[in-house]
Amino acid sequence: MTNQLVENLLESIKSKVKKLKKKTKNKPYVKIDKSASVKVEIRSRKARNLINKTLQAADRPGKLPSL
């Protein structure tokens, strides 16, 4: 009787593990959206790069700017 109980328990655990593996197989990770602070950081980096390019173009007034 104890063997039967242990076997049933093992089978139920195995089936639950298989179900979990199938669920995670399709979606290996959860995509996380960018937070507001990350978006602000990206915009500020782009702005800094644009300012630097503008200042470099202003330092060479005779040449056409390559913005």
Residue 62 CA neighbour count, 13 Å, CB half: 0
pLDDT in tens, 17-30: 888 777 666 666 77
Query: Is residue 25 within 8 Å of residue 38, measured between CB atoms?
Result: no
Q: Tell me which residue of 15, 33, 17 sits closest to 25, measured CA to CA.
A: 17
pLDDT in tens, 36-59: 999 999 999 999 999 999 999 888
